[in-house]
Amino acid sequence: MSEPRLAVENRTRFLIRHEHRGLRVLSLVGLVVLWEIVARIGWVPVLFLPSPLGVVAEGWEMVMSGELVGHLAASLRRLLFGFAVGGGLGVIVGIVVGFFSVAEAVGTPLIAATFPVPKIALLPLLILWLGLGEPSKIAVIALGVFFPMAINTYTGVRQADALLVRAAVSFGARRWSVIRKVILPSALPMIFAGLRLGAGTALLLLVAAEMIAVESGIGFLVLHAGNIMATTKLMVGIVVLSLLGVLSHWGLNRLERLTIPWQG
Amino acid sequence: MRVVLDRVSKTYADRHGHAVHALDDVSATVASEEFVALLGPSGCGKSTLLNIVAGLLEPSRGVVYFEGTATMTASGINRHPTAMVFQEFALFPWRTVQKNVEFGLEEAGMAAGERAREARRFIELTGLAGFEGKYPHQLSGGMRQRVGIARALAVDPAVLLMDEPFSALDAQTRQLMQEELLAIWERTRKTIVYVTHNIHEAVYMADRVIVLSRRPGRVLAEIVIELKRPRTEAMLGEPAFVRAAEQIWGLIKDQAREAVSE
């Protein structure tokens, strides 16, 4: 007679998470197909919901005529300048406030007081100060990027491993060396997280800024198309904005992997 | 060149603001080319003492000085005569092995070509050849500490300070690294101050063991190890080894027990 047996089975099976690759593709494709069907059978008038294929065709036409390229170039220029100014200043302020206790005492209350202000609310003020031209548009984007960058850089600096700082000092590093060779690389992952946050804010502010007194840019395209009820054109603008968001995220990921090769 | 610790005391405030006496009136001298172990139970302030020697902590009372040393580098910068090997390695994760080893030379203002050559020497000495381009996270614990040792030796310090350098490693790796360090010491004859809580390690490696008491850290005894050099594993069974180990254990046993029941 054999002894009763209890076979051991994996009790964590219900915790296993699968990747479901097919489902990931299907969810996106499914939405577009559903949208196309809804548009085709005419449930919703084209004026309110143009079909995806129609949007693609319109987009292609706008590319060929150069209309889209012009708008895109104008928007990208604003984004780039805003990012450079806001990001650069943000990193510098973050490092200075994070490293020097006097700067921290002066800077943190100022940042805490100004950070919660929605940057869009400052747009009229910026227009008043800088005029209706490009500087006010770039300034509002720069402001939107500045805060997440400054705050993240500051956090990254504060989180720098004290042991590594001491090790650097023990090998003769002075203040500037410590900042450049220990604090800055320590803060890089946080700086990239700030860039990602800033990218979202920048896109939002770009569109808002381009809705006031401009003749170019994706934001202008969307607003103008809406005004003349060119819904397909409007949709093209929205798709371009969403692509910009996806691309910036992807680009930042690539850049991060290039800049931080030690993160395995 | 000698290191002199003259009546060093250290008191610091803990989280609740209570004064903690880490070191009390510690005096000691380390001679040139001597391998000295600082040994004590946990909480005896031995790492604190090492950090004071490295200039990374300020003593509350007393001074540490180096006697008979020229501390000027070629570039005329007044350089601290010590280099430290850390328990947790403290390698720069964003630097390759090569660049980690070059760090101290960089700070000393050495030209890039010369720096690379110097670093190369110590990379070979510590058995890191072939790993120059690796990042620390790609290395095992033993290899990481080799980088730590190479980085410290590269600046040609008058005194090498080692803060429990092998205690984060597994037992077998630790044993091998001890042998390698002894072999390196035979070749370089660096003055070494070696902090450890491991009696066997201290007796096996050092010329002299300075035994510290628990909080506050005081010098309980200085024990000269009567083992020949070069040391070999066979010596672990010699009467001189066993006697020294037992003597030290007798000195700190009660205090180690106290530390456990705290």
> pLDDT digit string (tens) for A22-72?
999 999 899 999 989 988 888 888 788 888 898 999 999 998 998 899 999
CA nearest to A169 within chain B: B56
Other C-beta atoms lying within 10 Å of the C-beta of residue A243:
11
Residue numbers in chain B where pLDDT is lower than 50: 72-77
Domain over A52-263 is classified CATH 1.10.3720.10: yes
Other C-beta atoms lying within 10 Å of the C-beta of residue A43:
9
CA nearest to B57 within chain A: A166
Chain A hits for B54, Cβ within 8 Å: 170
3-state SS, residue B58 = coil
Note whether A182 contacts B: Cβ–Cβ < 8 A.
Answer: yes
- Beta bridge pairs of residue B193: B36, B161
Amino acid at A217: G
Chain A hits for B83, Cβ within 8 Å: 170-171
**Using the beta-carbon criterion (under 8 Å), do B84 and A170 form an inter-chain contact?**
yes
Token pair 């699968």 is found at A18
Taking alpha carbons only, the member of B47, B38, B66 closest to residue B207 is: B38
Chain A hits for B104, Cβ within 8 Å: 171-172
- Res A1: pLDDT: 64
- CA-to-CA distance for A163 and B193, rounded, in angstroms? 20
Tokens of B23: 């070191």
Chain B hits for A264, Cβ within 8 Å: 135, 137-138
Taking alpha carbons only, the member of B6, B1, B102 closest to residue B53 is: B6
For chain A, 264 residues long, the average pLDDT of each consecutive 10-residue run is 86 90 91 90 83 90 91 93 94 93 92 89 90 90 94 94 94 91 93 91 91 88 90 92 92 90 75
Residues in chain A: 264
- CA-to-CA distance for A96 and A31, rounded, in angstroms? 48
Chain B hits for A182, Cβ within 8 Å: 92
Taking alpha carbons only, the member of A117, A115, A123 closest to residue A141 is: A123
Tokens of A46: 């084209």
- Res B72: pLDDT: 46
CA distance A165 to chain B (A): 9
Token pair 């089975």 is found at A9
- Res A88: pLDDT: 94
- Res A107: pLDDT: 92
Tokens of B43: 């909480």
CA nearest to B154 within chain A: A171
- CA-to-CA distance for B29 and A54, rounded, in angstroms? 86
Taking alpha carbons only, the member of B205, B199, B204 closest to residue B256 is: B199
Taking alpha carbons only, the member of A126, A147, A257, A162 closest to residue A200 is: A147
- Res B69: pLDDT: 64
Tokens of A131: 């005029």
Mutate to test the interface with B, among A161, A170, A180, A183 (most CBs of B within 10 A): A170
- Res B150: pLDDT: 92
- CA-to-CA distance for B50 and A226, rounded, in angstroms? 72
Is residue B99 within 8 Å of B135, Cβ to Cβ? Answer: no
- Res B195: pLDDT: 94
CA nearest to B93 within chain A: A262
Mutate to test the interface with B, among A166, A171, A191, A192 (most CBs of B within 10 A): A171
ipTM: 0.88
Tokens of B31: 């001679």
Token pair 């580098």 is found at B73
Q: Read off the pTM.
A: 0.84
3-state SS, residue B65 = strand
Note whether A163 contacts B: Cβ–Cβ < 8 A.
Answer: yes
Is residue A153 within 8 Å of A94, Cβ to Cβ? Answer: yes
The B61-67 sheet, strands edge to edge: B19-30, B2-13, B61-67
Tokens of B9: 């005391």
- Res B71: pLDDT: 54
Q: Cα-flanking dihedrals φ and ψ of residue A56, to 5°?
A: -65, -45
| Ramachandran class of B218: left when φ > 0, alpha when ψ lies in -120 to 50, beta otherwise | beta
| Angle formed at CA B144 by CA B140 and CA B149, multiple of 5 degrees | 150
**Using the beta-carbon criterion (under 8 Å), do B56 and A169 form an inter-chain contact?**
yes
How many H helices and E strands in chain A? 11, 0
Amino acid at A108: T
CA nearest to A165 within chain B: B90
